[in-house]
Structure 1
Amino acid sequence: MSTFHTPLLRAAGAAALALALGACASMGKPGQGAPLLDANALGAGKAIGAAATAADWPRQAWWQDLHDPQLNQLLAVALADNPGLQAAEARVRQARALAGLAEDRTRPKADASVSLDRERYSLHGSAPAPLAGQYAWRNQATLSLSYDLDLWGRNRSALAAALDEVQLASAESQVAQLTLQTALVRSYIQLSFEFERQECIRAGLARRDQLLELSQRRRRAGLGTEVDVAQVEATLPAGRRELEQSAEAIALLRNQLAALAGKGPADGEALTRPALRLERAPALPSALPAELLGRRPDIAAQRWRVEAAAQRVDAAKADFYPNLNLLAFAGLQSFGFAHFLEAASATRGVTPALTLPIFAGARLRAQLDQQGAVYDAAVAQYNGSVVAALADVANNVAKAQSLQQQQALGADALATAAKARQLAARAYAAGLSDAVNLLHSELALLQEQQNMAQLGARRLDSYASLMAALGGGFGALP
């Protein structure tokens, strides 16, 4: 009898499965999805090709190459106390919690319950004698087990998507961290320049005050006119305004740096003049653009977004197939307590539950189309990030190369101004020229010094931007 029924049961099961599959909703013809861009298919360009060397990728604390202890301390405080970073880390914890919920759906469930009810049963109800018309205790203790077989991998795909989103949140947290680091370093570099600019403006105003005094003495001696005095006086208000603008910029930058560090304005006011020093010119690793994909947190985030979207598409496809849950329970039931714990009070059962999406085709196809659109959008964002990242590197390389040339030209101009000032000083000492010419040559020298300070600040800023473009140490060992 067993030999006869086993093939029959298998055939019946196969028939039931075929019937269930036949009753499923049709998903139509889902699209293939947008293709991911191959970074190596993008031409790196002459700037990147010419600058590529065997240099290492940026380390995590890349700003330490600027050799400023105050900056290092400021970054340490910012990475610990910045509210934006704390919010990004909270989003990572939230993604991990959601992944835990998704993982729970892939595991068997076990629930236990105990109920003790005292109830008066109706004399004319369904309760038989002697319970009818009497009060009695109805006691029940049940242990239930359930397991979703997940035949088509819907729960597993949802879990994989949730784990990918944990990685996505982690990469986005790294993006926020790199954005903070870059903004703080660039603001600090600008603060350094404003201090140098302020020094040059003060020295220039001192020279103009001397020029004004000389012009007034020449007028009183009959060697000059009111026009000469007025021409010098006209330059003083502009210089004082420029000095005030520089003081304003320093105050605002101090407040900005304090805010980036998660501190109040008083901490910004305590910042002293920066002492930045970059001992080596920035160089590019030779493995561009291929390794750039694993070095930039924004590209990594977009890639994890694509992976999560792909898993969501698989989960949406699995919804078109039947779902089978196994339910089992065992427990004790009795009226009153006398026989509650006896074997005769035991109850048990098994309940398979089959869900067929027969009339849900339109809704399921809409869900699949929606997830497909999310995937295509994620791919487009990833491709755009790859293109933008390579352009970012190329722009910073081109800027660094241009600044190197500008600094060489600026050094020539500074040397020429210094030579002119030296000649004017010699002529004044020999009595061949007056102090006016000497002061004008000193003003020209101060202007070239300010120009060189600006070029130096732009070079440091270019270095910070290039480190960010190369990923800022993302993926590097601490």
Structure 2
Amino acid sequence: MTHCPATPSLRLRPLAACLCALLLSGCAVGPDYQVPQLIATAQFKATEGWRQAAPSDALARGAWWEIYQDPQLNQLVERLNTSNQTVAQYEAQYRQAQALVRSSRASLFPTLNLTTGKNRSAQGTGSSSSSLSNNSSGIRDTYNAQLGVSWEADVWGKLRRGLEAGEANAEASEADLAAMRLSQQSELVQNYLQLRVIDEQKRLLEATLQAYQRSLKLTENQYRAGVSGPDAVAQARTQLKSTEADLIDLAWQRAQFENAIAVLMGMAPAEFNLAATDDIPPLPAIPVGVPSTLLERRPDIAAAERSVMAANANIGVAKAAYFPDLTLSLSGGYSSSSFSNWISLPNRFWSVGPQLALTLFDAGKRSAEVDRVEAVYDQTVAQYRQTVLTGFQEVENYMVQLKVYEQEAGVRDEALAAARESLRLTDNQYKAGLIGYLDVVNVQATALSNERSVLNVLQSRLVASVQLIAALGGGWQGLESSRAQ
């Protein structure tokens, strides 16, 4: 570092030329990023035509919940998108990551500082008696104004690798935000669909109760007429009360789903009420031959891949610690003991010069840090691969689940049709006095069980469809463009 009281001369030009040559020859140490290789099959085994494709998490997901054609559901999800508090937390984390990126980018540029101040100092005059008698003469005021510029030349790419890691972390945070938003949307849609199925079950039980009340009244009339015994009345009353209990049980189940929807929208349960409707949203048809490229837009897979990128960049930052840091400083200003002529040419000073800082011995600290970040990289690669494998597993599971539920629904529909016909015939025989009421009770219980089983399978199919959509990263919008490619 040089320090001169005069004006900077042309000697700065060789320094600037040397600096430019040094920066032009600089490189970023550490490995350049490459996407890790994945172990994956060529296609999904559960459905023909599903094949693996390149990552495409940038594809638009769209309002996938609109596939259920329910305007009220659309309104609820839109409210969730703006008011869900868990999503708000991840959004704040993403803004933090963006701020860190701006901070890392700012480190590539010079820092400009302005310092002004007044200093008062005293110096002894020799003997103590002399100091006491001439105390005032030993005090001196100094006025300073200094403008300084400092810049760390990123010769070895440490700052650039740090910025690369920060940008990758910000992208991972953005993907985490998208993953959480998708998760919350999926949870709300599942809760809503299950609530609507419960409404249908409630209507079924209410209609069944009315039929059981008529049966009880008929049985009581027959008992008074001496046609039936008291056991038939007891059986009819037991069946009625059991169904009433089942109807009451549905109330708290519905309340749980309703309260969950309220919280997902950022509302207190006491402030939210979802009225019953007469329709269940239709089950969406899954297109045949959906490519597995849609799986690659899953935000959690994107977040895991961006984390690998950040870990790779951190290796470069750690390895750059083996090389010296080059800092260029330039400062100038005015210093005077008199305020009146403080800002004047004779009181001007300046200094300029480079500074190299290199750690000569650290007992293996830098080597240990490199080993650590390399191990972190290996960990993130394994996490990324596991996330992809888990994604394939989830899609396979939900596709098999939907296929099995579809087959089960067909069989249960046939069983329900047979149960309804059996109930009709048995009821006619009972009214004609050909059979006892116990036979009617058994057939009624079988019919009701089949009615509820059909609704339960429908509920499972609706929930599985939402889970499949979420597992694919948000539906199959963009399918035509994927096929065209």
Q: Do the structures match in fold with TM over 0.5?
A: yes
- The corresponding residue for 1:62 is 64
Structure 1 gap segments, 5+ residues each: 1-8, 18-26
- The corresponding residue for 1:247 is 251
* Contact 1:191–1:274, Cα closer than 8 Å, also in 2: no
Question: What is the deviation of 1:31?
Answer: 11
Question: What is the deviation of 1:388?
Answer: 0.5
Which residue, 312, 315, 333 being the options, matches 1:313? 315
Deviation larger for 416-425 or 134-143: 416-425
* Contact 2:294–2:476, Cα closer than 8 Å, also in 1: no
- The corresponding residue for 2:144 is 140
- The corresponding residue for 1:153 is 157
Measure the CA separation in 2 of the matches of 1:476 and 1:163.
27
> Aligned residues, how many?
443
* Contact 2:290–2:476, Cα closer than 8 Å, also in 1: no
- The corresponding residue for 1:47 is 46
Question: What is the deviation of 1:101?
Answer: 1.5
Partner of 1:350, secondary structure, is strand
Q: Could you give the per-residue CA deviations for residues 165-223 of structure 1, whole angstroms, max 9, x where no partner exists?
A: 11011000001100100000001111011111122222333333333333333333333
Letter in 1 for 2:417: A
**Structure 1 pair 85/267, CA: closer, same or farther in 2 (3 Å)?**
same
Partner of 1:468, secondary structure, is helix
Measure the CA separation in 1 of the matches of 2:418 and 2:323.
82
Partner of 2:356, secondary structure, is strand
- The corresponding residue for 1:177 is 181
**Structure 1 pair 445/380, CA: closer, same or farther in 2 (3 Å)?**
same
Deviation larger for 208-217 or 162-171: 208-217
- The corresponding residue for 1:449 is 451
Measure the CA separation in 2 of the matches of 1:329 and 1:319.
27
Partner of 2:277, secondary structure, is coil
- The corresponding residue for 2:270 is 266
- The corresponding residue for 2:473 is 471
* Contact 2:49–2:288, Cα closer than 8 Å, also in 1: no
TM-score scaled to structure 1, two decimals?
0.83
- The corresponding residue for 1:336 is 338
Question: What is the deviation of 1:136?
Answer: 3.7
Structure 2 gap segments, 5+ residues each: 1-13, 23-28, 128-133, 480-485
Which residue, 66, 91, 94 being the options, matches 1:92? 94
Q: Could you give the per-residue CA deviations for residues 17-69 of structure 1, whole angstroms, max 9, x where no partner exists?
A: 9xxxxxxxxx9xx9999993425x4353421335679xx98842111111111
Measure the CA separation in 2 of the matches of 1:379 and 1:141.
53
Deviation larger for 246-255 or 259-268: 259-268
Question: What is the deviation of 1:415?
Answer: 2.2
**Structure 1 pair 176/35, CA: closer, same or farther in 2 (3 Å)?**
closer
Measure the CA separation in 1 of the matches of 2:204 and 2:269.
26
**Structure 1 pair 321/352, CA: closer, same or farther in 2 (3 Å)?**
same
Matched, 1:292 2:302: no
Measure the CA separation in 1 of the matches of 2:71 and 2:414.
32
Measure the CA separation in 2 of the matches of 1:74 and 1:416.
39
**CA RMSD across the alignment:** 3.4
Measure the CA separation in 2 of the matches of 1:439 and 1:235.
8
* Contact 1:180–1:260, Cα closer than 8 Å, also in 2: yes
Measure the CA separation in 2 of the matches of 1:187 and 1:474.
21
Measure the CA separation in 1 of the matches of 2:60 and 2:211.
44
Partner of 2:104, secondary structure, is helix
Taking the TM superposition and a 5 Å limit, the aligned residue runs for 1:290-439 are 290=293, 292-293=295-296, 295-424=297-426, 431=432, 436=437
Partner of 1:340, secondary structure, is coil
Taking the TM superposition and a 5 Å limit, the aligned residue runs for 1:16-35 are none
Measure the CA separation in 1 of the matches of 2:400 and 2:446.
30
- The corresponding residue for 1:24 is none
* Contact 2:328–2:354, Cα closer than 8 Å, also in 1: yes
Q: Percent identity?
A: 27
Deviation larger for 189-198 or 224-233: 224-233
Measure the CA separation in 2 of the matches of 1:334 and 1:322.
37
Letter in 2 for 1:283: P
Measure the CA separation in 1 of the matches of 2:361 and 2:75.
64
- The corresponding residue for 1:21 is none
- The corresponding residue for 2:210 is 206
Letter in 2 for 1:148: E
Partner of 2:75, secondary structure, is helix
**Structure 1 pair 438/229, CA: closer, same or farther in 2 (3 Å)?**
closer
Measure the CA separation in 2 of the matches of 1:230 and 1:159.
79
Question: What is the deviation of 1:360?
Answer: 1.5
TM-score scaled to structure 2, two decimals?
0.82
Q: Could you give the per-residue CA deviations for residues 99-126 of structure 1, whole angstroms, max 9, x where no partner exists?
A: 122112221111111112344444349x
Measure the CA separation in 1 of the matches of 2:478 and 2:360.
52
Measure the CA separation in 1 of the matches of 2:69 and 2:405.
21
**Structure 1 pair 403/235, CA: closer, same or farther in 2 (3 Å)?**
same
* Contact 1:82–1:262, Cα closer than 8 Å, also in 2: yes
Partner of 2:450, secondary structure, is helix
- The corresponding residue for 1:227 is 231
**Structure 1 pair 306/143, CA: closer, same or farther in 2 (3 Å)?**
same
Deviation larger for 227-236 or 170-179: 227-236
Deviation larger for 455-464 or 220-229: 220-229
* Contact 2:153–2:328, Cα closer than 8 Å, also in 1: yes
Measure the CA separation in 1 of the matches of 2:345 and 2:201.
93
Letter in 2 for 1:113: T
Q: Could you give the per-residue CA deviations for residues 407-426 of structure 1, whole angstroms, max 9, x where no partner exists?
A: 21122122223333444566
Deviation larger for 165-174 or 408-417: 408-417
Deviation larger for 360-369 or 437-446: 437-446
- The corresponding residue for 1:4 is none
Q: Could you give the per-residue CA deviations for residues 73-108 of structure 1, whole angstroms, max 9, x where no partner exists?
A: 111111111111111100011011111221122211
Partner of 2:46, secondary structure, is helix
**Structure 1 pair 388/94, CA: closer, same or farther in 2 (3 Å)?**
same
- The corresponding residue for 1:238 is 242
Partner of 1:278, secondary structure, is coil
